[in-house]
Amino acid sequence: MTEPTLEQLHAIATTAAQHAYAPYSHFRVGAALLLTTGEIVTGTNVENGSYGLALCAEHSAVVRAVAEYGPQIRIAAVAITNLNQAASPPCGACRQVLAEFTEPDAPIMFPMEGGQQTVPFREVFPFSFRLDRE
Ligand code: THU
């Protein structure tokens, strides 16, 4: 199987965004992770009436990936989208969650004011906290 393009990953993230549970913010986000093994795992945001418990799309995708494929997963690329025609780079908490599993040179694609932006993870989150830092 050939590796999906970032555009294909983006389309898969958009489908996931359509499943968002966002009755409070109405901001519908989708994320698609490409694992180094070739599998694709999606996530979407899931809000809660206790607002602070909202789970971001990127975070839910990482949780699904570990649940489905195990703790050794590595993330080779990430596409993030929203259905609100707004900029949505990953929030700080999601950057920290992604840092645990994402290759430093993995491309991260996300919507910005000027259109889709693709940046290596090391530039998205240059000073991440890692217990296994060498
Ligand atoms: N959200 C994400 O899914 N990812 C982010 O990186 C930032 C914010 C969600 C959380 C909440 O459901 C909605 O967007 C508005 O903040």
What is the reported pLDDT for 126?
95
What is the reported pLDDT for 69?
98
What is the reported pLDDT for 132?
76
Residue 48, ligand 1, Cβ within 6 A:
no
Domain-embedded: residue 62: yes
**Residue from 7, 47, 58, 123 carrying the catalytic annotation:** 58
Domain-embedded: residue 80: yes
Cα–Cα distance for residue pair 14/100, rounded to 1 Å = 24
Residue 25, ligand 1, Cβ within 6 A:
yes
Domain-embedded: residue 55: yes
* Interaxial angle between packed helices 57-69 and 6-17, expressed in degrees from 0 to 180 and rounded to the nearest 10: 100
Domain-embedded: residue 130: no
Q: What's the CATH code of the domain at 81? A: 3.40.140.10
Those residues with Cβ within 8 angstroms of residue 102's Cβ, 6 or more apart along the chain or in another chain = 74, 75, 78, 108, 121
Is 58 in the active site? yes
Domain-embedded: residue 133: no
Domain-embedded: residue 23: yes
What is the reported pLDDT for 76?
98
Residue whose C-alpha is closest to residue 30's, from 76, 64, 81: 81
Buried b (16+ CB within 10 A) or exposed e, 11-25: ebbbebbeebebeee
Q: What's this model's pTM, rounded to 2 decimal places?
A: 0.96
- Protein residue closest via CA to atom 9 of ligand 1: 56
How many separate domains does the chain show?
Answer: 1
Structural domain of 36? 6-124
Spell out, as residue ranges, where the chain has pLDDT lower than 50.
none
Pocket perturbation via mutation, ligand 1, pick of 91, 117, 125 by most ligand atoms within 8 A of CB: 91
